[in-house]
Amino acid sequence: MSLHLQRDLNNLKKELLQLGDLVENAINNSLIALNDRRPSLAETVIKEEKLVDEKEVHIEEECLKILALHQPVAMDLRFIVVVLKVNNDLERMGDMAANIAERSLFVSSEDPIPCLREFTEVMPGCIRTMVKNSLDAMVKLDLEMAREVIEMDNTVDEINRQMYGSFQQQVVADPNTTKRALALLSVSRYLERIADLATNIAEDVIFMVEGEVIRHQH
């Protein structure tokens, strides 16, 4: 590998980690805004979504430049392919964080309703860990960490399923809470999608290291 290619790949990795930090902060702040009923923080998350979008476009342009200038092969090529995919996944996570922030604006303006402990306590912790560890696994080429992220997705899926049952019970018990319950159900769905995207990143790490596509395997 040429020194110029190595330099460009290292810079690309730094850029992607910067995007990851932006997205992690957006997710954390959207959850804080929801749980602590802080509309001003939610508005900040929504406004800063454009920073994620701009970073995503910049990283994509850098990937295309490297492909054109250096024509990388083998693992270097797989790395750039993974960066392109992870870049897109992180941008979508940023969208989900903004959506959660939008729902929290509505929820914070209404009286609180009962909610599953798994949704308020377990699910956010899982999401934070999955996002952080999927990016760490990519940087460290840690296959074990990547596989742990994939396993955690099952927990998030199960809590999301429980939220549908909780939604039905809440609406039957008090139809006046329908809009609030639906908003929380939407948040659960957005968190489940973030978990799916973190799982995608973990699967891409395995592809980058081993050259094996494990998506859709059971």
- pLDDT at residue 210, as a whole number: 83
Tokens for 125? 């912790």
Cα–Cα distance between 108 and 131 in angstroms, integer?
Answer: 26
Cα–Cα distance between 37 and 108 in angstroms, integer?
Answer: 5
pLDDT, tens only, 50-63? 999 999 999 999 99
Question: How many folded domains does the chain comprise?
Answer: 1
Residue with tokens 């306590």: 121
Amino acid at 54: E
Cα–Cα distance between 157 and 211 in angstroms, integer?
Answer: 27
- pLDDT at residue 216, as a whole number: 60
Does a structural domain hold residue 184? yes
Does a structural domain hold residue 215? no
User: Are 183 and 109 in contact, with CB atoms under 8 Å apart?
Assistant: no
Per-residue pLDDT tens, the chain, 218 aa: give them. Answer: 688 899 999 999 999 999 999 999 999 999 999 999 999 999 999 999 999 999 999 999 999 999 998 888 888 998 999 999 999 999 999 999 999 999 999 999 999 999 999 999 999 999 999 999 999 999 899 999 999 999 999 999 999 999 999 999 999 999 999 999 999 999 999 999 999 999 999 999 998 888 766 666 65
Does a structural domain hold residue 158? yes
- pLDDT at residue 209, as a whole number: 86
SS3 content of the chain, % helix, strand, coil (to 5): 85, 0, 15
Cα–Cα distance between 177 and 167 in angstroms, integer?
Answer: 10
Does a structural domain hold residue 192? yes
- pLDDT at residue 215, as a whole number: 67
CATH code of 11's domain: 1.20.58.220
CA 206 to chain centre: 18
Does a structural domain hold residue 176? yes
Does a structural domain hold residue 218? no
pLDDT, tens only, 27-81? 999 999 999 999 999 999 999 999 999 999 999 999 999 999 888 888 899 899 9
- pLDDT at residue 74, as a whole number: 85
Cα–Cα distance between 99 and 95 in angstroms, integer?
Answer: 6
Instruction: For residue 56, give its domain range.
Output: 3-210
Give the residue among 16, 8, 11 at the shortest CA–CA distance from 70. Answer: 8
Does a structural domain hold residue 216? no
Does a structural domain hold residue 217? no
pTM of the model: 0.93
Counted residue by residue, the chain has a size of 218
DSSP run (H or E) holding 161:
helix 143-173
Q: Indicate if the alpha-carbon torsion angle 50, 21, 127, 170 is positive or negative.
A: negative
Q: Give me the phi and psi of 58, to 5 degrees please.
A: -60, -45
